Amino acid sequence: MKIRKLTLILFLSILPSFLLVAQVTEETEKKEKTKKGFSFGAVPAVAYDSDLGFRYGALANFYDYGDGTIYPFFKHSLYVEWSHTTKGSDLKQIKYDSGILIPGLRISADARLETEQAMDFFGFNGFETAYNPAFITAGDPSYISRMFYKMDRRTLRLRANVQGNIIGRKLRWFAGLSHYNIGLDSVNVSKLNKGKEGEKLLPKVDGLYDIFVKQGVIPAEQAKGGAVTNILLGIVADTRDNEPNPNRGIWTEAMLVASPGFINADPFYKLVLSHRQYFSLIPDRLTFAYRLNYQSALGQEAMPWYMMNFTFSTYDDREGMGGSKTLRGVLRNRVVGEGFALGNFELRWKFAKFEFLKQNWYLALSPFLDVAKITKPYQPTAGFEIPAGFYGTTDGMHFSYGAGLHIALNQNFIVAVDYGLAASNGSKDGLKNDGTKGIYIGLDFLF
């Protein structure tokens, strides 16, 4: 029944695209104006994420297209952002990307400083750690605190990557270096209670993070975080016709993330395999895209628990599993283990293309289906198990579905709005163990 419901929703979402796009012919298509020189998109960072709250601040993306011969590819890209969210996350970030700074090499680098006074923490191994929304629902008899599934985290990340051609740009080698400095703690309830009184005051009780530290689920020596330096080596096959929103081609990666013992207190090694493919169903109008991703720690030594919610790629290190970049509609950081498999499937329909203010624009609709499963559970010790009071069920598949709207400027600067619904259950009592829904306003297509 659930599969039929998902199929019907996706079919109804894409039906208008087939009916309307079928009316478009090559004779009615306008040739897009080639961009030259400098271009930029700058907007107030007014966004929304169900997991993070309202985001406000400013961001800008600057592009240098040169003489236009490589458009929509660019010579240089510089992205800067400062933003804050209503749920206590502060982000300062700068990213640079260029294929000509050093002839024959693709160089990318970024620096990111983020503080989160209420970061999501739902335990480990997906459904094995039960999620009970009653614990955070004021007025419910089982209410503990709105901060029960939260913790405090401060992250400094520095990255530098380089890619070189093996067979043109279609087959490339990849090498990178990244450094994380992560500080962890309990939620600072006293700080959050400033200016509040009565029922709005948060109780000073242990959250799930505190309980897992006290019961040894989180090793004491890792409870407050740590510093991690990664060496990344890989190979990339890339035949995409346009990086921000390809119409056709593949983007496949194989990468080793090495955190060796001679520079890290808790060494680990991780294998990353990712395949993205794009099919042009109606030229430059309707595209089917999918991403298959597998990441797993290698060997018997457990990787630091605070690094398990990061997903790695040659493009960026993102946070998952669950939320805006992996499982849209599922709670952020809900699916955490030492290894996972992920699948994302989208139809992307450019239903309007036009020129405005001497810039190229298009609008796109994208119904999607996301699915993931933990393939290697977190096992910090030989006798590890989720405490009985917090054990849920055996982990299974995590599903979500929904649709997105995208507004693109000159093909590279893309504002995205995604709405996802969690379809998984995984609970003995029928509760939606992955959450219910999520809405995300940000930048770029998912992949």
Residues in contact with 383: Cβ distance below 8 Å, sequence separation at least 6, in sequence order = none
Domain extent for 174: 2-443
Sign of CA dihedral 61, 62, 64, 69: positive
- Is the bond preceding residue 151 a cis peptide, omega within 30 degrees? no
How many angstroms separate the CA atoms of 161 and 177, rounded?
Answer: 6
| Total domains present in the chain | 1
Q: What is the mean pLDDT of each run of 10 residues along the chain (447 residues)?
A: 40 38 38 71 61 75 81 85 81 92 91 93 94 91 94 96 93 97 94 81 93 93 96 97 89 96 94 97 95 94 90 85 92 95 97 90 96 93 82 91 94 89 73 86 87
Distances in Å between the Cα of 151 and the Cα atoms of 12, 88, 127, 333, 334 are 40, 11, 20, 12, 14
Instruction: Classify residue 227 by its DSSP letter.
Output: E
What's the pLDDT score for residue 7? Answer: 39
Structure confidence at residue 2 (pLDDT): 42
Q: Residue 28 sits in a domain of what CATH number?
A: 2.40.160.50
pLDDT given at position 53: 66
- Could you tell me how many helices (H) and strands (E) the chain has, helices first? 3, 19
How does pLDDT run across 91-106, given as a tens digit for each residue?
899 999 998 888 889 9
| pLDDT score, position 236 | 96
Q: How far apart are CA 109 and CA 176, in angstroms?
A: 9
The pLDDT value recorded for residue 12 is 41
C-alpha dist (Å) from residue 62 to 56, 94, 414: 20, 11, 13
